[in-house]
Amino acid sequence: MVRVDCSGTDCLVQVRNLDKKYYRGNEVIDVLRGLNLDVSAGEFVAFMGPSGSGKTTLLNLIGGLDTPTSGTVTVGGEEINDLSGRRLTSWRARHVGFIFQMYNLIPVLTAYQNVQLPLLLTGLSKAERDRHVHTALELVGLADRAKHYPGQLSGGEEQRVAIARAIVADPTLLLCDEPTGDLDRETGDEIIEILHRLSKEHEKTVLMVTHDPLAAEKADSQLHLEKGLLVEAERRGEIS
């Protein structure tokens, strides 16, 4: 099954005939097999599926962390699979915010410094960077923890700092790889709520990989992958 249903200019992400193979010795592992996908701007999409189904690989390909074996990934009209490594790095900095399961904060930098990292790749002045970081931290409710190091924060707080870091440069896409996977239910719900708010109130396009059906329920769409193919697509409106 494919999910190719965007209409015209509304479509932010277009994936066509996406193949990704890994090679282990003589063995070829087909992780993604001719996958097609459209995601509208401002949409909150949850990818579900068993381990090894290709969810994270798909996210990495859309985020420009990896390159496909064949097929195309177009984001905002730009076909990123043709970009050189250098331009892809620059593209990531401008267009993608990543949120990881293990938060991936830099432990020796404060929350403020962690959030500021993506802004160091922009031409913003220090005063402007300051303002952006405080806005992002306020948005996730952690303005008062700016000077704390990751080791001084709870898991939920760390993930909120990671979200602030992901949104601080105002990227086109937020890619979340199991953002609640290391959190308890209550804290996980808070994180999903923030992502939902970012999608609805700030019109961010959020692509989230999760194993948690309750987390996925908050998304506009739940897409299921199995063996490198989209096997099922559920629209929020259609579930109920």
Partner 1 sequence: MAIPIEYNLRSIVVRWASALVAVIGIAGTVAVFIVVLAMGQGFKATLASSGSSQNAIVLRGGANSEMESVVTLEETKVIGDAAGVARQVGGTPLYSGEVVVIAPFPLRSSGTDANVQVRGVSALALDVRPNVHLVEGRFFQPGLAELVIGRNASLNYEGLDLGSEVQFGGGTWTVVGIFESGGSSFDSEVWCDATVLNQIYKRPENIFQSVTVHLNSIEAHQEFKDAITSDPRLNVDVYRERDYYEQQSNTIQTVIRQLGVSLALIMAVGAVFAALNTMYSAVAARIREIATLRALGFSPASVLLSFLLESVIIALVGGAIGCLVSLPFNGFTTGTMNWQTFSHLAFAFRVTPAILIAGLAFAVIMGLVGGLPPAMRAARLPVVVALREL
Q: What residues make contact with partner 1 under the rule CB under 8 A?
A: 60, 63, 65-66, 85-86, 89-90, 92-94, 98, 100, 102, 104, 106-109, 113, 117-118, 120-121, 165
What's the closest the beta carbon of residue 98 comes to partner 1, in angstroms?
Answer: 5
What's the closest the beta carbon of residue 109 comes to partner 1, in angstroms?
Answer: 6
Q: Residue 60 and residue 227: Cα distance in Å, rounded?
A: 16
* DSSP state for residue 81 in the 8-state scheme: G
Select from 66, 74, 121 the least CA-distant residue to 93: 121
* DSSP state for residue 163 in the 8-state scheme: H
Residue type, 43: E
What's the closest the beta carbon of residue 223 comes to partner 1, in angstroms?
Answer: 21
Return the number of the residue (65 or 233) whose C-beta is nearest partner 1.
65
Select from 46, 37, 43 the least CA-distant residue to 3: 37
Return the number of the residue (126 or 240) whose C-beta is nearest partner 1.
126
Q: Per the structure block, which two tokens stand in for 167?
A: 């949104």
Return the number of the residue (71 or 118) whose C-beta is nearest partner 1.
118
What's the closest the beta carbon of residue 173 comes to partner 1, in angstroms?
Answer: 13
Select from 163, 187, 193 the least CA-distant residue to 176: 163
What's the closest the beta carbon of residue 5 comes to partner 1, in angstroms?
Answer: 29
Return the number of the residue (1 or 108) whose C-beta is nearest partner 1.
108
Assess contact for 203 and 195: CB atoms under 8 A: no
What's the closest the beta carbon of residue 218 comes to partner 1, in angstroms?
Answer: 24
What's the closest the beta carbon of residue 168 comes to partner 1, in angstroms?
Answer: 10
Return the number of the residue (170 or 189) whose C-beta is nearest partner 1.
170
Select from 220, 170, 190, 191 the least CA-distant residue to 43: 220
Assess contact for 36 and 82: CB atoms under 8 A: no
Q: 31-60 burial string, b = 16+ CB within 10 Å, else e?
A: bbbebbbbbbbbbbbbbbbeeebbbbbbbb
Q: Per the structure block, which two tokens stand in for 46?
A: 């949850």
Return the number of the residue (11 or 209) whose C-beta is nearest partner 1.
209
Return the number of the residue (11 or 169) whose C-beta is nearest partner 1.
169
